[in-house]
Structure formats: C-alpha cells, structure tokens
Structure 1
Amino acid sequence: MTTLMTYAGPEEPNALVTRTGGLPLAPEGTAWPTCVECEGPMQFLAQLLLDGQARPLRGDGGRAELVMAVFMCQTDPGMCDAWSPTGGANASFLFPVDGLTPMTAPEVDDPETVLLGACHAVRPVESPQETYGDAYEEWVRADGREPGHLLGQLGGRPDWLQADETPSCPGCGRGMELAAQLEEGPDHTTNMNFGGCGAAYAFVCGPCRGSAFLWQC
C-alpha cells in the first residue's frame, strides 16, 4: 500500500495541515533559517503533519503531534548545494504541534526566494501498489488526471532517482525513515526547484526527533 499526495486546490497559507507553500508554522521566536553557503534566507517548501512517533498522518483520523517544516536555499539557484542533506543549504525542523504561530518571512528583493508562489492543499489517496513508482504510473494513467497533480507520497519507501541516499540519524546512527517524497508541483510558475523534474525526500528519526532533507534529479 502506498499513500499518494495529490493536489487538492489552493490552501490557506497558515493552515495547520499538510501542504506545500504558504507560511511555516513554528514556536514563537523561531528564527528563519539561512544558508550557510551564501547566508541568504531559505525558501519555505512544505509542512507535514506527523504523529507522536514522527510518522506522517495519512488522512485516517490520527492526531497530529508534530509538524515538520522543510526549507532550502533559492537565493541563487544552482550555486549552493541545496540538494545535500548535510551541506547547510537546506533545513528541516520538527516542532510540537501546540502553540505554533506563522513565521514572518524576511524582507527580500524577490519574495519568491523565500516563499513559493502558491500554497497547495494535499489530499492523501491510498494506492494498492507496493512501490511509489508503480503507484505513480497507475495514478497518472487514469483518465483526466494531470501528472503535475501528483505531489508525492507520505511515508513508504523512497523511490530514488539516483543511488540510495538514506541519511543516518546523527543522534543514534540508525537510518532515518521517509516522512514524505515530494514532486516539484502542479504549476511550473510556482513549483519547487529540484533541478527540473527532480524529487525531494524528507526523513525523520522518531526516537531522536531528528530530521533531514535532500533531493535528486
């Protein structure tokens, strides 16, 4: 079984839901992350609701206890190693769900370097296919569906475009679990930039409350 993330139309930018774009929710006073390479503010990509074990909610009525927020540098696309889980040009955070407030985006010349041009709602859809690749192919073959409206998967096994890059948790040393695999988005004018037709991978370690992010193309 694979849980697909499908496009469900526009979403409120500060909604406490799994979404791409909008404003990140974080504890009051949380600093907007900056790239260690260029020192510019990062772009907010996505928010994922997780349970108390840091597993993604799949629309089955589970209670959200954690929020994952994912960022990457887009100050000068291609110049910083935003694809790397350890390069310092992307960032991911796990926050307890209670008491979160919308972060204030930094003032920059080009607002789309810190915020995506659209906020997209996510509808989880269960597929009987065991792998994301097979579930993807089955979903896009259905009549009337646009490939860009498939936003990724929640949990499951990564469908790597290149070699397996599952990160190890710096706290316990174990391999992290996939929280979500993300596609670039439904509209090229507001898409996330994973190198053009790439995919991104958000990982968590539930026991250590650790997280990591990377992408491939």
Structure 2
Amino acid sequence: MQSTLMIYDGTVPADSGVLRTGGVPLAPAGFSWPICGSFCGGPLQFFAHLPVEYGVLSVFVCQNDPGACEFWDATSGGNRVHLFPREELRPVEVPATGVTLLPAASAIRTHVVTLDPAEDGEDGDDDEVAPDAYDLARSGWKREPEERFGRQREVLGSLGGSPSYLEDDRLPACPSCTGTMEFAAHLEEGISAQTAMNLGGQLGYVFVCRDCREGAFLTN
C-alpha cells in the first residue's frame, strides 16, 4: 500500500503556484470568487491550491458563521471545489468583506509512504478489516527514521489513494453526469492557529470528476 502524504513545509508567498494551503486562489481570467449557497450568502474562504497531474484543484469552504452553513456537506452549497487547467492562472481579486483568507499560506511537500500490510496487522483473514493506508501513513510519519514519536500535526493531508474510513453512501455524485466522483485528496486542519483550516476537528475529503471538470468537498 502507498500513501502520498502532504507535509507542512514552512510559509510561502500568497500567490505561489506550488502545492499549498492558504494564500490567494489562482484561476483563469474572468473567474469570480465563489459565494456560499448554504445560508449566509457571503464569500467562501479559500483553503487550498492543489496542483495535480490533470489540473489544479482549488478548494473553498464557508467560514463566515461556522456551524450555521453546512460546510461539511458536499451538496449544501457551503463549499466549492474548482478544477482549473494549469496554464494561464492568475491571482483572484479578494472580496473586501467576509472571511476569505487563512492567516498564512503554508507550502506543502509530498512524501510517498510505502506500507507492508503484513507488518501492520493484516494476516489474510477474510473477516479482518484491511488497514487504512492513509491512517497508517499519517500516524507513523517521522522526519527521521530514528525518531521515537511521530509528527502527525505536520501532515496536512494526502493526494490520491482512497478516502479514509468514508462510507460508500457518502461518496459524492457528479452534478453533471451523476457518476461517482474520483477521490482526489485528504485535508487536515493544520499545525497552528495561523495556518489551520477550520474543519470542525474532522478530516476533509476532496473529490473530482475529470470528464466534467466538477469537484466536491465534504468532511467526515
């Protein structure tokens, strides 16, 4: 099993094109800042800029009145995921009001963890639940192999793989083609108040339909 962890790697300029949380979104010309469709009608907060092989995922979540707008639900209108082409992206003008930006932009580096299921408790018994790749990789993350304890708070999520402990009935359907969306990324809140994304203490999930260029977000 493999998991591509996203590891906190210090601060980065707000308009950087690298993998990051926070900062300002980069989008094609003419893009308008997304508005909450759940309750408040205010601008969404920009969470993450995620360059992937098939484009750039841009994640927005409502934080104007946490708890009032159902930002944890994929169909509530309280969040938005856009899939942009990689080329000709530019910083988006930030609305003058509303909770729109995180206090700091955090650079992310990736680290591929390869796990041997046999070493993590999987004995081949059909009645046993297979180990969760992301959960194992995150809990065991250490910068140096000889470190005694892990550094889980440095893990900001992962790219690809499968959604950790998410029931099949919560997998979002594409609003255009109605097919089940592909899992794209996990998001964790972050390591400090200055860098944290408010996920209500939950794990965030990013999904995408490449063909329709639609995205979805939810928390567990």
How does the TM-score come out when normalised to structure 2?
0.84
Counterpart mapping for 1:182-201 below 5 A:
182-196=187-201, 198-201=202-205
- Structure 1 residues 60-84: Cα deviation after superposition (integer angstroms, max 9, x where no partner): xxxxxx1111101111111100111
Instruction: Look up the SS of the partner of 2:140 in the other structure.
Output: helix
1:27 positional shift: 1.1
1:179 positional shift: 1.1
Aligned equivalents of 1:41 and 1:30: distance in 2? 13
State yes or no: 1:85 paired with 2:87. Answer: no
1:138 positional shift: 1.5
The change in CA–CA distance for 1:137 and 1:145 in structure 2 (over 3 A counts) is closer
Question: For structure 2, which runs of at least 5 residues remain unmatched after alignment?
Answer: 116-131
1:173 positional shift: 2.5
- Structure 1 residues 142-183: Cα deviation after superposition (integer angstroms, max 9, x where no partner): 6275321111110000113x6442111223332211111000
1:188 positional shift: 2.7
How much identity, in percent, do the aligned residues show?
43
Match of 2:152 among 139, 147, 154: 147
State yes or no: 1:208 paired with 2:197. Answer: no
Aligned to 1:20: 21
Instruction: Look up the SS of the partner of 2:57 in the other structure.
Output: strand
Match of 1:134 among 133, 136, 141: 136
Aligned to 1:122: 108
State yes or no: 1:49 paired with 2:51. Answer: yes
- Structure 1 residues 181-201: Cα deviation after superposition (integer angstroms, max 9, x where no partner): 0000111343111112x1101
* Aligned 8 A contact 2:74 2:217 in 1: yes
Instruction: Look up the SS of the partner of 1:139 in the other structure.
Output: coil
Instruction: Look up the SS of the partner of 2:77 in the other structure.
Output: coil
How does the TM-score come out when normalised to structure 1?
0.85
Question: For structure 1, which runs of at least 5 residues remain unmatched after alignment?
Answer: 53-65
Moved >3 Å (runs of 4+): none
* Aligned 8 A contact 2:106 2:195 in 1: no
Aligned equivalents of 2:150 and 2:199: distance in 1? 22
1:96 positional shift: 1.3
Aligned to 1:101: 90
Aligned equivalents of 2:195 and 2:111: distance in 1? 23
1:140 positional shift: 5.3
* Aligned 8 A contact 2:139 2:150 in 1: no
Of 206-215 and 118-127, deviating more is: 206-215
Aligned equivalents of 1:184 and 1:200: distance in 2? 8
State yes or no: 1:180 paired with 2:185. Answer: yes
Instruction: Look up the SS of the partner of 1:91 in the other structure.
Output: strand
- Structure 1 residues 13-63: Cα deviation after superposition (integer angstroms, max 9, x where no partner): 1111211000000112211111112111110000111223xxxxxxxxxxx
Aligned equivalents of 1:90 and 1:12: distance in 2? 24
